[in-house]
Amino acid sequence: MIPRPTRSSAHTTSEAGAWADVLVRRRLLHAALLAPSGQWLVQPEADGPVHVLAGPADIVELTATIQHCIRSTRARTR
């Protein structure tokens, strides 16, 4: 696996919001909402528990984890 390049800046709320929107539109998450505190409320399934993520970096990390799972599943089915 090729290591990801390091970022020179922190993840922003708008970047996290864009990724959260993509995850919900693609039905990879049921819901993702930004709380007034800056935390993110994430619900993977409609009847599932709500998880609290600390900030934008956690949303981006969740997105990377989901992408990795999707890619590794596709590679195994080929």
Kindly provide the b/e burial profile for residues 64-78, where b requires at least 16 CB atoms within 10 angstroms of the residue's own CB.
eebeeeeeeeeeeee
Instruction: List beta partners, residue 34.
Output: 40
Judge contact between 16 and 59, C-beta under 8 A.
yes
Asked if the model's pLDDT at residue 6 lies above 80, the reply is no
Give the count of beta carbons closer than 10 Å to the beta carbon of residue 21: 12
Instruction: List beta partners, residue 51.
Output: 42
pLDDT tens track for 51-78: 999 999 999 999 999 999 998 876 666 5
Q: The pTM is what?
A: 0.80
Higher pLDDT, 4 or 26: 26
Cα–Cα distance measured from residue 31 to residue 69, given in angstroms and rounded to the nearest whole number: 19
pLDDT tens track for 20-55: 999 999 999 999 999 999 999 999 999 999 999 999
